[in-house]
Amino acid sequence: MQDRDNTASQQARRHIEAMYAQDACAQEMGMHIEHIDTGFARLSMKITPNMLNGHQSCHGGILFSLADTAFAYACNSEGLAAVASSGSIDFIRPALAGDRLTATASVQYQGKTTGLYDVEITNQNGKPVAFFRGHSHRLSQPILTKGKQS
């Protein structure tokens, strides 16, 4: 059983690394993959001065982008292409320049075509910054073509 779990984890990582290689937005924003597993993704990102709003706290759209990316990686980790059908976020506390945020996404439900995922964003002190919930819809195609999987 452990070998099967390990293989699924390795495949999930391979699928998401392939997505990340094509994800210009995540790369430009400085997002880093910390951990990937089946139905799970943890990303981190440092808040820079150009991510601040007029109140000198992190713009909500930046937080949404971090959560949405973690959600995307978690719901695509099984190798079947999935897109968001909806997403919502609740902001708990501000993030400031220099903060290192971590977004942890995990599957709550995954059916044949639809899924439900929760993401928690925390700061470097482990304090919650935002909670995100996303619904996914699977497309009828794999993330990697068979030639690229082997």
* Structure confidence by residue, pLDDT tens digits, 88-130: 999 999 999 999 999 999 999 999 999 999 999 999 999 999 9
pTM of the complete model: 0.92
Rounded to whole angstroms, how far apart are CA atoms 143 and 13? 12
* Segment 1-33, tens digit of pLDDT: 455 567 999 999 999 999 999 999 999 999 999
Does pLDDT of 49 surpass 50? Answer: yes
Residue-averaged pLDDT of the chain: 93
**Bridge partner residues of 42 (DSSP):** 35, 104
pLDDT of residue 5: 65
Residue 140: pLDDT band (50, 70, 90) is: confident
State the fold for domain 1-142: Thiol Ester Dehydrase; Chain A (3.10.129)
What per-residue string of b and e applies to 48-69 under the rule 16 or more CB within 10 Å gives b? Answer: eeebbeeeebbbeebbbbbbbb
The domain ranges of the chain are 1-142
Predicted local confidence at residue 148, as pLDDT: 45
